[in-house]
């Protein structure tokens, strides 16, 4: 995620794929549709390949165009054609690894980058991308070693310092991470993701006012990053500025309506000002987007209890299963590839993208499974303890104790007849 590399093209005709992306009628200032722009960009390569289908450079050029339009599967096919002709070309292997990274085929991408590094062991941008893959795979220690290799090859790469900061942050070494982010910013003051990483570690170090300033700098550079707005909102929550926090979460939702974490934290802010019914709706929106969101389930149960709505184990499990089925059906449908600004032209820091993460449901700052707020936890300072509550209720518990020890069926309010 959040630029979702999981999007599927659905068929092998790139023109038709891009046509889907521009189906909503989006055109550029010259009035060209996405399909038209893609076909125009592909035209010289198609002409060359019509005359000489064994032209590896033309296949690679076609792959670059398809990548720029986010038609990843077709880009990979074109690169494989180039490698069939020139199987020892490290540049094509590098590009293939990058496309595989976009497709979230991390193990294959890692093999491609390792192959490049056998030939070009001092390739700083390859070490940089390898760092990204290792972070996605949850191998932070190896990722840190890859960062050091990149910096040993070229200590002037801002993206590599950012990568190191991100890995150290994932490992909980926040002071060291802060130093790495500062090194990145010395080299490039406009590197938005380094400012965002710095803001996050300042937040973790309880340096909240400095964190707010760093988030504000990030938003000046990139005001449309929903994840950054959520990060800023979390700082406001820690400062007990619930209204400001709510405003920032709403801003994140306006940018990315399907951002589950923004809805979850909106629910947290609403719960703190005792707007429990609105909080419940926010948690439910988060769960519609991400049915396996454990913290949102816990929050929903807690606020439901406060409102006098009990959920028994069976109903909760059925509801969760139903939401998961809907999500699976949604994922199985073909999705439209988004036409966005290409990352293909980035230089040495091309593959160092945020993500906070990515394990499914939890993100690392590199991998982009989807954008997310800094730390997906229901903090103890945000939860109101209910009067008479003996035990917290979590999913999977067979019984629930509360107050006088009575149990109510899900969906029944206090005083409601069965």
pLDDT at 369: 40
Residue 255 belongs to what H/E stretch?
A: helix 242-255
Residue 110 belongs to what H/E stretch?
A: helix 106-119
pLDDT at 135: 87
pLDDT at 144: 92
Q: Which residue has the higher pLDDT, 97 or 340?
A: 97
Q: Which residue has the higher pLDDT, 32 or 326?
A: 32
pLDDT at 310: 72
pLDDT at 311: 65
The helix/strand/coil state of 290 is coil
pLDDT-wise least confident of 34-38, 207-211, 224-228, 261-265: 34-38
Residue 402 in this model has a pLDDT that exceeds 70: no
3-state helix, strand, coil in the chain (%, to 5): 60, 0, 40
Q: Which residue has the higher pLDDT, 287 or 409?
A: 287
Confidence of residue 124 (pLDDT cuts 50, 70, 90): confident
Nearest to 309 by CA among 386, 383, 396: 386
Which residues on neighbouring strands pair with residue 27, listed in sequence order? 33
The arithmetic mean of pLDDT across residues 146-160, rounded, is 90
Contact between residue 76 and residue 99 where contact means Cβ atoms under 8 Å apart:
yes
Residue 37 in this model has a pLDDT that exceeds 70: yes
Q: Which residue has the higher pLDDT, 314 or 361?
A: 314
The helix/strand/coil state of 359 is strand
pLDDT winner (highest mean) among 132-146, 345-359, 370-384: 132-146
Sequence-distant (6+) residues with CB within 8 A of 384 are 271, 272, 306
pLDDT at 228: 97
Confidence of residue 35 (pLDDT cuts 50, 70, 90): confident
Instruction: Write out the two tokens for 392.
Output: 């917290």
Confidence of residue 375 (pLDDT cuts 50, 70, 90): very low
- Burial of 244 per CB tally in 10 Å (0-12, 13-18, 19+): middle
- Dihedral sign from CA coordinates of 51, 57, 62, 63: positive
**pLDDT tens readout for residues 273-317:** 999 999 999 999 999 999 999 999 999 999 998 888 876 555 555
Instruction: Write out the two tokens for 80.
Output: 């494989």
Nearest to 395 by CA among 326, 284, 320: 320
pLDDT at 3: 39
pLDDT winner (highest mean) among 124-128, 273-277, 326-330: 273-277
**pLDDT tens readout for residues 107-119:** 999 999 999 999 9
Nearest to 408 by CA among 327, 337, 312, 340: 312
The arithmetic mean of pLDDT across residues 46-72, rounded, is 94
C-alpha to C-alpha distances, 186 to 182, 198, 223, 373, nearest whole angstrom: 6, 13, 22, 26
pLDDT at 136: 87
- Give the mean pLDDT of the chain: 77
Distance CA 261, CA 293 (A): 9
Alpha-carbon Rg for the chain, nearest whole angstrom, is: 24
The arithmetic mean of pLDDT across residues 177-205, rounded, is 96
Distance CA 263, CA 284 (A): 9
Residue with tokens 């760093």: 214
The arithmetic mean of pLDDT across residues 358-380, rounded, is 39
CA angle 100, 103, 106 (to 5 degrees): 55
Distance CA 212, CA 333 (A): 40
- N-terminal to C-terminal alpha carbon distance within the chain: 44
The arithmetic mean of pLDDT across residues 248-253, rounded, is 97
C-alpha to C-alpha distances, 376 to 202, 261, 290, 352, 372, nearest whole angstrom: 17, 7, 13, 22, 8
Q: Which residue has the higher pLDDT, 19 or 252?
A: 252
pLDDT at 106: 93
The helix/strand/coil state of 358 is strand
Contact between residue 132 and residue 101 where contact means Cβ atoms under 8 Å apart:
yes
Instruction: Write out the two tokens for 290.
Output: 């991400």
Angle, in degrees to the nearest 10, between helices 140-153 and 158-170: 160
Confidence of residue 181 (pLDDT cuts 50, 70, 90): very high
CA 63 to chain centre: 24
Percentage of the chain exceeding pLDDT 70: 67
Instruction: Write out the two tokens for 400.
Output: 């629930």
């Amino acid at each position: 995620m959040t630029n979702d590399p999981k999007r599927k093209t659905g068929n092998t005709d790139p023109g038709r794929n891009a046509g889907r992306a521009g189906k909503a009628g989006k055109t550029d200032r010259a009035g060209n549709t996405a399909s038209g722009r893609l076909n125009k960009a592909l035209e010289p390569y198609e002409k060359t390949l019509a005359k000489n289908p064994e032209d590896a450079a033309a296949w690679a050029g076609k792959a670059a165009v398809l990548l720029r339009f986010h038609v990843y599967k077709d880009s990979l096919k074109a690169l494989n054609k180039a490698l069939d002709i020139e199987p020892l070309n490290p540049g094509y292997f590098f590009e293939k690894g990058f496309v595989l990274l976009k497709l979230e085929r991390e193990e294959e991408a890692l093999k491609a980058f390792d192959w490049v590094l056998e030939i070009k062991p001092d390739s700083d941008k390859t070490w940089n991308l390898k760092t990204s893959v290792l972070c996605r795979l949850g191998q932070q220690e190896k990722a840190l070693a890859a960062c050091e290799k990149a910096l040993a090859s070229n200590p002037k790469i801002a993206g590599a310092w950012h990568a190191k900061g991100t890995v150290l942050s994932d490992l909980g070494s926040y002071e060291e991470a802060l130093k790495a982010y500062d090194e990145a910013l010395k080299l490039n003051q406009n590197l938005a993701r380094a400012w965002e990483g710095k803001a996050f570690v300042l937040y973790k170090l309880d340096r909240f006012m400095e964190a707010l300033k760093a988030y504000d700098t990030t938003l000046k550079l990139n005001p449309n990053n929903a994840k950054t707005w959520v990060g800023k909102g979390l700082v406001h929550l820690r400062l007990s500025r619930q209204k400001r926090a709510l405003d920032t979460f709403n801003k994140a939702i306006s940018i990315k309506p399907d951002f589950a974490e923004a809805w979850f934290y909106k629910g947290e802010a609403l719960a703190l000002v005792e707007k429990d019914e609105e909080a419940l709706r926010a948690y439910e929106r988060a769960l519609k987007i991400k049915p396996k969101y454990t913290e949102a389930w816990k929050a929903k149960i807690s606020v439901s209890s406060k409102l006098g709505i009990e959920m028994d184990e069976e109903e909760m499990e059925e509801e969760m299963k139903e939401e998961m089925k809907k999500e699976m059906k949604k994922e199985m449908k073909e999705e439209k590839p988004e036409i966005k600004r290409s990352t293909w032209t980035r230089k040495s820091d091309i593959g160092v993208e945020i993500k906070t993460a990515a394990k499914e449901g939890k993100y690392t700052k590199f991998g982009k499974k989807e954008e997310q707020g800094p730390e997906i936890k229901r903090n103890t300072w945000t939860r109101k303890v209910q009067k008479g509550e003996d035990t917290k209720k979590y999913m999977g518990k067979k019984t629930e104790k509360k107050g006088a020890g009575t149990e109510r069926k899900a969906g029944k309010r206090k005083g409601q007849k069965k």
